[in-house]
Amino acid sequence: MVADTKKELGGLSQAEYDERLEVFEARINRGEKIEPADWMPEEYRQQLIRLIHVHANSEICGALPEGKWIPHAPSLKRKLALCAKVQDEVGHAQLLYRAAETLGPSREEMVESLIAGKSKFSNVFHYPTKTWADVAVIAWLIDAAAIINQSMMAEGSYGPYGRALKRICYEEAFHFKHGYEMCITLAGGTKVQHDMLQEALDRWWGPIMMFHGPSDKTSTHTGTLVRWKIKLKTNDEQRQQFLKQFVPKIFDLGLTVPDKGLRFDKEAKEWHYTEPDWEEFKRVVRGGGPMTKDRVETRRMAHEDGLWVRQALAAAAANRPVPMPAGK
Ligand SMILES: [Fe+2]
Ligand SMILES: [Fe+2]
């Protein structure tokens, strides 16, 4: 492979670069993990930073649409479970910002870039949660889609990211069970509950079908990510896995899927579906979603509110007197 920029060569001659790249790719092909101190191509580092940063932003922004429903949970049991889930998601962000830090950028830089509206987060968290059934659909189907993605990425080639994801997946599995149980309850409840669940699924289906990212025909990053085993499956392969696992379960609950083009091809053993609106996807992840401004603004306020905690922790770590928070 010819490195086409000076930055990519990192001060090496082309021959030295090629030699290191060969060793690096051989290690990946043997299934070894790449660790922070190891040599890696600049593009590998940049792709990982981009991916982990977006993932961390998504966990922290993903806590918001569900967190809004904590005061309205229909029972103490639901409230406790939802509080625990929201807390877990924020913890996932913390683990992931730490994993991204091993590649260069600081957590502060990454959080600043999120609240300045300069970095992306998952398309699904740019939409509003209008009813309690949205909480059930998110916890079941969005967490399910996330598990498909994260359990695959956990086997990827970069050690710190894989280890963080293994820990995250244990918790995601609980979220998913809690979501499924909520959907079973609503689907088998009164007509109002059943209809509320169907209406939520109808609104979320489009964003969920976009969750794994652009179709393989148009995705610009997938080839490199798969070659270096950052990703082990393409976006379309993950989407297909999601459909195979969850469409039958959705039907079992007596629900319908709002896609007239959805059908199972018995010969090819795969689902056919209407191609998602990728223009909407691009517009949303670039900051044009119905709730984008609200999410970023809420994060900014939370970050400012937490400044005194960060200052107190830094002072305690440095053995300095802990400052009192202004106005607290
Ligand atoms: Fe999470
Ligand atoms: Fe989760």
pLDDT score recorded for residue 4: 56
Whether 328 maps to a domain, the answer reads: no
CA of 260 to the centre of ligand 1 (A): 31
- Where is average pLDDT lowest: 73-87, 208-222, 239-253? 208-222
Q: Is the pLDDT of residue 5 over 70?
A: no
Cα-based distances in Å from 106 to 31, 100, 109, 111, 270: 28, 8, 5, 9, 42
Q: What is the mean pLDDT of the chain?
A: 94
Ligand closest to 141 (CA) is: 2
Whether 192 maps to a domain, the answer reads: yes
Whether 326 maps to a domain, the answer reads: no
CA of 236 to the centre of ligand 2 (A): 22
Q: Are residues 226 and 293 in the same domain?
A: yes
Q: Is the pLDDT of residue 2 over 50?
A: no
Q: Are residues 11 and 160 in the same domain?
A: no
pLDDT average, residue stretch 306-322: 89
Q: CB burial class (10 A; 0-12, 13-18, 19+) of residue 125?
A: buried
What CATH number has the domain bearing residue 238? 1.20.1260.10
3-state DSSP of 192-257 = HHHHHHHHHHHHHHHHHHHCCCCCCCCCCCHHHHHHCCCCCCCHHHHHHHHHHHHHHHHHHCCCCC
pLDDT average, residue stretch 67-79: 97
pLDDT score recorded for residue 222: 74
CA of 124 to the centre of ligand 1 (A): 13
Ligand closest to 91 (CA) is: 1
Q: Are residues 27 and 53 in the same domain?
A: no
Residues at Cβ < 5 Å from ligand 2 ion: 143, 172, 175
Q: Is the pLDDT of residue 1 over 80?
A: no
Whether 322 maps to a domain, the answer reads: no
Whether 120 maps to a domain, the answer reads: yes
Whether 216 maps to a domain, the answer reads: yes
pLDDT score recorded for residue 13: 87
pLDDT average, residue stretch 128-133: 98
Q: How many domains does the chain have?
A: 2
Structural domain including 21 reads 1-32
Q: Distance of alpha carbon 244 from its chain centroid, rounded?
A: 21
Q: Are residues 61 and 21 in the same domain?
A: no
CA of 268 to the centre of ligand 2 (A): 32
Whether 198 maps to a domain, the answer reads: yes
Q: Are residues 27 and 48 in the same domain?
A: no
Listed residue (213, 62, 230, 63) closest to 160, CA to CA: 230
pLDDT average, residue stretch 145-158: 96
> Could you tell me which residue, 320 or 123, shows the higher pLDDT?
123
Q: Are residues 21 and 54 in the same domain?
A: no
pLDDT score recorded for residue 324: 75
Q: Are residues 21 and 109 in the same domain?
A: no
pLDDT average, residue stretch 99-104: 98
Q: Are residues 156 and 25 in the same domain?
A: no
Q: Are residues 143 and 16 in the same domain?
A: no
Token pair for 159: 């050690």
Q: Which residues contact 194 (CB under 8 A, 6 or more apart)?
A: 186, 187, 188, 254
Q: Are residues 258 and 206 in the same domain?
A: yes
Provide the whole-model pTM.
0.92
Collapsed DSSP state (helix, strand, coil) of residue 324: coil
CA of 172 to the centre of ligand 1 (A): 6
Q: Are residues 10 and 115 in the same domain?
A: no
Give 6's pLDDT tier (boundaries 50, 70, 90): low
Q: Is the pLDDT of residue 7 over 80?
A: no
pLDDT score recorded for residue 223: 77
Contact predicate 111/98, CB 8 Å: no
pLDDT score recorded for residue 8: 74
Token pair for 179: 């979501």
pLDDT score recorded for residue 228: 95
Give 34's pLDDT tier (boundaries 50, 70, 90): very high
Contact predicate 209/276, CB 8 Å: yes
Q: Which parts of the chain are beta strand (E)? A: 263-265, 270-272
pLDDT average, residue stretch 222-250: 93
Whether 323 maps to a domain, the answer reads: no
Give 12's pLDDT tier (boundaries 50, 70, 90): confident
CA of 92 to the centre of ligand 2 (A): 9
Q: Are residues 172 and 139 in the same domain?
A: yes
pLDDT score recorded for residue 328: 55
pLDDT average, residue stretch 231-257: 96
